[in-house]
Chains A and B, each alone.
Chain A
């Protein structure tokens, strides 16, 4: 699964990618092992905004499609 598959409010853990992702992603705090949550997304496949390590980071869907994650934690949907 990838970041782009998350629904709003869903949480997951970032996994190690097999391809090389922009290092800026790591440096901004989005790195393997961290919990990440999709906060909101822009319409028409626009950018998506995630909460990770206490920061809100927006990225384009193309990039989100490359970042692997674990199965989302569905419970978080109901628990808010």
Chain B
């Protein structure tokens, strides 16, 4: 718990005003990532010492264009300000304004002033203002606003100290109210103030205009909610424009030169698409191949650790649990870190530089028919490496509908873990022939990738049709100026995401893997002999083996015998476990893939005497692996990102049904 005496200081401003940079500057490594209650949105906070004896909790609120909410992000911000709970009340606001884009930023800031909360203004990008020859009369504007203003440079940390001092004085100073709603609106505003106990009329104004509760009363004034909000916006901009004419000198044309020059390429219908394609290809490459070495390293280290412990610990249940249950479980969590770090580093670069908005702009037309937005491109591309980072990347999407859709279909995209399974099965049942000069096996592999991709898009389109229409959220996107990314911000993004994965999804993964270890190592009435040199019980006698045999009748229509059923079940740890389980079942050395293949090829169907792994069984298995969400880590991450085990469980079920259906169909046709 945070000390009650800590001053609660919130950072508020439009997106891309340098809010994260300032937050990172203010809090450094003391920042924590949590969640807003009830929504799947990150809440970053950090406890700092403002002055001797004065603690402050800095809260990084999501970027907003207005206090009137049009998006879930803006809803969160408004709720934080209308919250009258003493423990959660915000004491001071640091408003942010990009000095090179003051007009629209000051618009939001005037709304904040009217909340009657002590506020200070941080004008960011002071270095860019200087370079572009912009001049701001800080004192003049500060007097007109009634609020202390600090010029800051989030890149170099200039102005931070002064800002901190201003926070201390702001807590006692008084700002001048700016827009006082009243006149014909007075009646309903008073009613809201009474109902909700708001001390400030502007809070009642915000609350009243946010939904249908007071709509009737409001419309009796002859104005619609939209009209009232529009009137407010016009008034505010008029005033902001007056201020800027008085206190701000700029040289138009000069300020957007670089951005305009880069955009000539970046959003060009032809070159823009090519640049995007190349960048996404590089992202895939970095994710797929860049993570290989560190992943192998983690794998090896833990295998060694496990071996060292095995030979040093006394035989027994505990040592078995540690070396076969817990250590592989921890390894199974940490193994994802390279991919998560790489992906979030790259996403952060895309966002920081301002290019991500261009991705959304270019891709919007193509993703819309599927209910997705341009931002869904990132989870789709990352999904080809692994669903875990792909699903985590949806955190950067504001529109919750597209976020849900992306999470729901991400596991369908062919990930790297499916490859060993596909490779084994394809080499087993697809003849090594060419088809119009192309390798047949290669074609089948390619088709499986396409199946995954189209299943994801079509699945999303279908869900989009079924999902109840959300409040319409107009597609309005600001294109920020291009800026050179700051490594400090990229570093914080990587650390925060990795930390939250390990501590949150990691817990679930570890728990499931210990449970699965138990099911694989023990059987009904069977306990492995721990006293002697450890000898595992035969897998068919374990709980997993029994379950596999029990579900054989259900799996029979897919062409799966009990051995395949066991392998399918145990693949829930991770899909590639299929190969290892097959090896165990056919008692071959784990490391020799070719011998597994030979053993499998020798298996005869007991009824016909023909080879068991024929085309029908092989294709049925391939399709099963293409659709099923056989991955406990995916389950864990979905549960964590959606804050709902129900969502993850339903997704698991639906994808399971899809898999069963596809396998059943193909087997019925081919067998």
Task: Point out residues on A near B: beta carbons under 8 Å.
Answer: 20-29, 31-32, 39-40, 42-47, 49, 51, 53-60, 63
- Among B226, B230, B234, B365, which residue has its beta carbon within 8 angstroms of that of A42? B365
Task: Point out residues on B near A: beta carbons under 8 Å.
Answer: 65-66, 68, 70, 101, 103-104, 107, 224, 226-227, 229-230, 233-234, 237, 252, 255-256, 259-260, 263, 267-269, 357, 360-362, 364-365, 472, 474-480
Question: Are B475 and A29 in contact, with the CB atoms below 8 A?
Answer: no
Residues of B within 8 A of A57 (CB): 476-479
Question: Are B365 and A27 in contact, with the CB atoms below 8 A?
Answer: no
CB distance from A3 to the nearest CB of B (A): 12
A–B Cβ pairs within 8 angstroms, 27 of them: A20-B224, A22-B70, A24-B474, A25-B474, A26-B230, A27-B65, A29-B237, A31-B237, A39-B260, A40-B267, A42-B267, A42-B361, A42-B364, A45-B365, A46-B362, A47-B365, A47-B475, A53-B103, A55-B103, A55-B104, A57-B476, A58-B361, A58-B477, A59-B476, A59-B477, A60-B475, A63-B476
Do A28 and B362 form a contact, CB below 8 Å, given A22-B70, A47-B477? no
Residues of A within 8 A of B269 (CB): 42-43
Question: Are B364 and A27 in contact, with the CB atoms below 8 A?
Answer: no
Contacts across chains A and B counted by CB atoms under 8 Å: 113
Residues of A within 8 A of B365 (CB): 42-47
CB distance from B87 to the nearest CB of A (A): 31
- Among A28, A32, A42, which residue has its beta carbon within 8 angstroms of that of B476? A28
Question: Are A31 and B361 in contact, with the CB atoms below 8 A?
Answer: no
Residues of A within 8 A of B361 (CB): 42, 46-47, 49, 58
What are the nearest 7 A-B pairs in CB distance?
Answer: A46-B365, A56-B479, A27-B66, A43-B269, A22-B474, A26-B233, A23-B229
Question: Are B233 and A39 in contact, with the CB atoms below 8 A?
Answer: no
User: In the complex, A21→B362 CA distance in Å?
Assistant: 24
Question: Are B66 and A20 in contact, with the CB atoms below 8 A?
Answer: no
- Among A23, A44, A55, which residue has its beta carbon within 8 angstroms of that of B101? A55
- Among B70, B237, B252, B256, which residue has its beta carbon within 8 angstroms of that of A24? B70
User: In the complex, A21→B474 CA distance in Å?
Assistant: 10
Do A24 and B364 form a contact, CB below 8 Å, given A31-B237, A58-B477? no
Do A54 and B103 form a contact, CB below 8 Å, given A22-B476, A26-B233, A49-B479? yes
- Among B252, B267, B478, which residue has its beta carbon within 8 angstroms of that of A28? B478
Residue of B nearest to A56 (CB): B479
Do A29 and B68 form a contact, CB below 8 Å, given A43-B365, A44-B365, A57-B477? no
- Among A21, A24, A31, A63, which residue has its beta carbon within 8 angstroms of that of B234? A31
**What would 6 more interface pairs be, CB under 8 Å, given A23-B229, A53-B237, A57-B476?**
A20-B227, A21-B226, A23-B66, A24-B70, A31-B237, A54-B252
Residues of B within 8 A of A47 (CB): 361, 364-365, 475, 477
CB distance from A56 to the nearest CB of B (A): 4
Question: Are A24 and B65 in contact, with the CB atoms below 8 A?
Answer: yes
Do A54 and B477 form a contact, CB below 8 Å, given A31-B233, A39-B263, A47-B364? no
CB distance from A43 to the nearest CB of B (A): 4
CB distance from B231 to the nearest CB of A (A): 9
Do A56 and B478 form a contact, CB below 8 Å, given A26-B233, A40-B263? yes
User: In the complex, A34→B263 CA distance in Å?
Assistant: 23
Residue of B nearest to A62 (CB): B475
Residues of B within 8 A of A51 (CB): 256
User: In the complex, A8→B224 CA distance in Å?
Assistant: 35
Residues of B within 8 A of A60 (CB): 364, 475
CB distance from A44 to the nearest CB of B (A): 5
Question: Are A58 and B103 in contact, with the CB atoms below 8 A?
Answer: no
Residues of B within 8 A of A28 (CB): 65-66, 104, 476, 478
Question: Are A58 and B479 in contact, with the CB atoms below 8 A?
Answer: yes
Residues of B within 8 A of A29 (CB): 103-104, 107, 237
Residues of A within 8 A of B234 (CB): 26, 31-32
Residue of B nearest to A46 (CB): B365
Residues of B within 8 A of A32 (CB): 234
Of the candidates A42, A43, A60, the one having the most CB atoms from chain B within 10 angstroms of its own CB is: A42
Residue of A nearest to B67 (CB): A27
- Among A20, A23, A43, A49, which residue has its beta carbon within 8 angstroms of that of B68? A23
CB distance from B539 to the nearest CB of A (A): 54
Residues of B within 8 A of A39 (CB): 260, 263
Do A63 and B475 form a contact, CB below 8 Å, given A24-B66, A46-B364? yes
Of the candidates A22, A45, A55, the one having the most CB atoms from chain B within 10 angstroms of its own CB is: A55
Do A53 and B474 form a contact, CB below 8 Å, given A29-B237, A46-B364? no
Question: Are B68 and A27 in contact, with the CB atoms below 8 A?
Answer: yes
Residue of A nearest to B479 (CB): A56
Do A42 and B362 form a contact, CB below 8 Å, given A29-B237, A57-B477? yes
Residue of B nearest to A63 (CB): B474
Residues of B within 8 A of A26 (CB): 229-230, 233-234
CB distance from B520 to the nearest CB of A (A): 51
User: In the complex, A39→B256 CA distance in Å?
Assistant: 12
Residue of B nearest to A59 (CB): B476
CB distance from A37 to the nearest CB of B (A): 11
Residue of A nearest to B252 (CB): A54
Question: Are B267 and A27 in contact, with the CB atoms below 8 A?
Answer: no
CB distance from B279 to the nearest CB of A (A): 17
Residues of A within 8 A of B480 (CB): 56
